[in-house]
């Protein structure tokens, strides 16, 4: 069968499955300010785990975001010698076990930029990272244009990026795109605009391999520099904006 036909059939199946799902939570960023009944601000430089564990260069503040025309706009800036941005989470407020998680977002561009839509296990304070597990639905680094990263971090991989996929999408930086993960008791599958890009379905489900049998919370942020963002930041491209139209969770 023609590969294009197979792709279209799979895409239609994915859309049909999504349409059968029940929407259980949605954030449309339609208010004048962020709803802190749903969202927490994580502030500062991450100390005592400075650089947020990745040698990142930004200082997170409450001032680097705005809600504009039903979108969340996170802005990365350089203010004097300091890089600033915003990082928000639903920890302790909106946590989910299994379902489809999707964001419609527009990426920033430029060397040193590292926006993300991701999740962490709600037991992180007791189990610690990486035993708590991490689901990276979207990561993008400006030093690798046209590439979308989808990854998982577990104790089995010692937190390293082993269970991962880098997928090329020409001009992914242009306009809005939908980044999603379908997560059930057996597997996690990742999509960009309903195109399947990666599946993680290990046969063994030990805590070290599969910490994904517990509630997780959502994180949105734009880091600057760091181990993954890269040591070199092009100050000339700043400020840059990471724009999120909505977050949706289906069961």
> Could you write out the three-class secondary structure of 202-228?
CCCCCCCCCCCCCCEEEEEEEEEEHHH
- Residue 157, pLDDT score: 85
* pLDDT per residue as tens digits for the range 74-123: 999 999 999 999 999 999 999 999 999 999 999 999 999 999 999 999 99
What pTM was estimated for this model as a whole?
0.92
User: Residue 82 in 3-state DSSP?
Assistant: strand
Indicate which residue of 56, 95, 139, 203 is catalytic: 139
**139 a catalytic residue:** yes
* pLDDT per residue as tens digits for the range 178-236: 999 999 999 999 999 999 999 999 999 999 999 999 999 999 999 999 999 999 999 99
**42 a catalytic residue:** no
CA distance 222 to 85: 6
Indicate which residue of 134, 144, 174, 207 is catalytic: 134
* pLDDT per residue as tens digits for the range 135-176: 999 999 999 999 999 999 999 987 677 899 999 999 999 999
- Residue 158, pLDDT score: 77
Backbone angles phi, psi at 192, to 5 degrees: -125, 120
Check residue 46 and give left, alpha or beta (phi > 0: left; psi -120 to 50: alpha). Answer: left
Position 134 confidence tier, pLDDT thresholds 50, 70, 90: very high
């Amino acid at each position: 069968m023609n590969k294009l036909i197979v792709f279209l059939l799979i895409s239609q199946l994915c859309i049909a499955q999504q349409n059968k799902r029940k929407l259980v939570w949605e954030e449309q960023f339609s208010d004048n300010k962020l709803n802190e009944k749903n969202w927490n601000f994580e502030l500062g430089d991450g100390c005592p785990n400075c650089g947020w564990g990745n040698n990142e260069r930004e200082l997170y503040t409450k001032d680097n975001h705005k809600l504009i025309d039903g979108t969340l706009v996170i802005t990365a800036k350089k203010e004097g010698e300091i890089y600033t941005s915003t990082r928000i989470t639903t920890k302790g407020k909106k946590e989910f076990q299994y379902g489809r998680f999707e964001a419609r977002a527009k990426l920033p561009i430029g060397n040193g930029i590292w926006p993300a839509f991701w999740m962490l296990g709600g037991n992180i304070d007791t189990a610690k990272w990486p035993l708590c597990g991490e689901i990276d639905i979207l990561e993008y680094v400006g030093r690798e244009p046209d590439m979308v990263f989808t990854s998982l971090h577990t104790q089995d991989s010692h937190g390293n990026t082993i269970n991962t996929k880098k997928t090329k999408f020409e001009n992914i930086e242009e306009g809005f795109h939908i980044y999603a993960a379908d997560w059930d008791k057996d597997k996690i599958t990742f999509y960009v605009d309903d195109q399947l890009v990666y599946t993680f379905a290990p046969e063994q489900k030990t805590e070290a391999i599969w910490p994904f049998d517990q509630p997780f919370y959502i994180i949105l942020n734009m880091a600057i520099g760091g181990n993954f963002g890269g040591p070199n930041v092009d100050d000339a491209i700043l400020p840059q904006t990471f724009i999120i139209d909505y977050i949706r969770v289906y069961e």
